[in-house]
Copies of this chain bind each other. A is one copy, B any other.
Amino acid sequence: MSKVKAFAAQEVGALLKPFEIERRAVHENDVLIDIEYCGVCHSDLHFVRNDWGMSEYPLVPGHEIIGRVVQVGEKVKDFKVGEKVGVGCMVDSCRECSSCEEGLEQYCERGSTFTYNGPDKYLGGMTFGGYSQKIVVDKDFVLHVPEHLDSKAAAPLLCAGITTYSPLRYWNVKKGDKVGVIGLGGLGHMGVKFASAMGAEVVMITSSPSKTKDAEDLGADHVLISTDEGQMASHANTFDFLMNTIPVGHDVNPYVSLLKRDATMVIVGAVEPVDPVHCGQLIFQRKSIAGSLIGGIKETQEMLDFCGEHNIVCDVEIIDMQDINTAYERMLKSDVKYRFVIDTKSLEREN
C-alpha cells in the first residue's frame, strides 16, 4: 500500500479539500497508473452533493482518467511501463453474469465496481477516484490510449466519449442517417463529433441560438432551436435517431415528435424522472424511448481506437486541482466548453 495525495468531499455538499488516500499494493493482475489528467463529469458533482442518495464520505470523485503505467503485476502482459492508458467509470465487475460475459460490464447483474464510491474489494470501504496522483486497477479494466491523442483532451473520452459512442453503435447509426443530438454540453459535443465521424447528417438541437456557431464548428450540419415551434414542426417525424443529453428532468414530448416511425430517442443525460410521456406519440408511429449507460470495456477500447483513427478528442479547459470548487459552480451554469480537465500535477503543490 502507498499513500497518495487527493482531493475529497468530507460530507454532503462540502467543498473539496486536500485529502490523503491509500492505494493498494500492486497485485499480479494490477496496473499502477500515474494519473496525469482527470476529467470533471457532471456526475462527480451529483455524488459530491449526494443528489442520488448513495454517496459515502469521504468521497474522491473522478472517472475520466488518463495517465502512464509505472508498474505492472507479474501476470500483466498487455501493458508496459510508460504506456499511455485510461480508466473510465468502472474498475471491476462480477465477470460471471450474462452481462459481463457479453462484454457489457456496465450492466453487471451484481453491480459493477465504480471507479469511485463503489465497494472496494481489496481495502474495504469505498473506492477513490481520479482526483488523485495514482490509481491501481485490474488490467481488465485498463484501456490503451492511442499515443498521438492529446492526453488532456482525451481524458473525458473515458466517460463522456463512451456514453455517446455506445448508443450510436447499439442503435446502428450509419452513413446518411439523420441524427439529432439534444443539448450542447460535455456529452452533446461528443455526440456531434461521433455521429459526424460515422457519416450521419447531424442536427444539434438546443434551446440556445447563441450556440449555433459552436455547434457547426463541432461538425453539426444544422442547428434546430427547440424553443422555435415552427422549426420543430418542420423537422417533425424526420429523425432516424435522437440522443438526449439534457442532464436534468424535462419535457421529452417535443423531441419524441421529431422521430420517424420506428425510431428511438435514447436518454443518456437525465437520470431523474422526465415529464409525463404522451403515449399516443409512441403508438401512432411505433416510436421508442430508451436509456443507455456508458459502455463495456471492449467497446470503450473500440471507441478509443476509433478516436485514434479519426483524431477525435474532447474540447477541454484545463484547471488545477485547487480550482475544482469554482469549476463545479461554473459547470452548473454551463460555463465550460465543454469539459473541465484537472491537471493532477497540481496536487504536488503545497496549497
Contact = CB atoms under 8 A, between A and B. Distances in A.
Of A107, A261, A279, A281, chain B has the most CB atoms within 10 Å of the CB of A279
A277 interface: yes
Contacts of A281: 291
A122 interface: no
A144 interface: no
A34 B275 CA distance: 47
A289 B272 CA distance: 16
Main secondary structure of the interface of A (DSSP, over half): mixed
A82 interface: no
A279 B270 contact: yes
Contacts of A237: 109
Contact of A284 (B107, B276, B278, B285): B107
Contacts of A272: 278-280
A287 B280 contact: no
Interface in A214-273: 237, 249, 261, 264, 267-268, 270-273
Given A107-B261, A261-B99, A261-B107, A279 B286 contact: no
A342 interface: no
Contacts of A107: 261, 284-286
B279 A276 contact: no
A284 B293 contact: yes
A283 B107 CA distance: 10
Contacts of A278: 272-273
Contact of A279 (B99, B273, B288): B273
A190 to B, nearest CB: 17
A179 to B, nearest CB: 18
A282 interface: yes
Query: Which among A264, A274, A286, A287 has the greatest number of chain B C-beta atoms within 10 A?
Result: A286
Nearest to A278: B273
B274 A275 contact: no
Given A104-B261, A283-B291, 14 more contacts: A99-B261, A107-B285, A249-B276, A264-B288, A271-B280, A273-B276, A273-B277, A273-B278, A273-B279, A275-B276, A282-B291, A284-B291, A288-B289, A288-B290
5 contacts: A271-B279, A271-B283, A273-B278, A285-B291, A287-B291
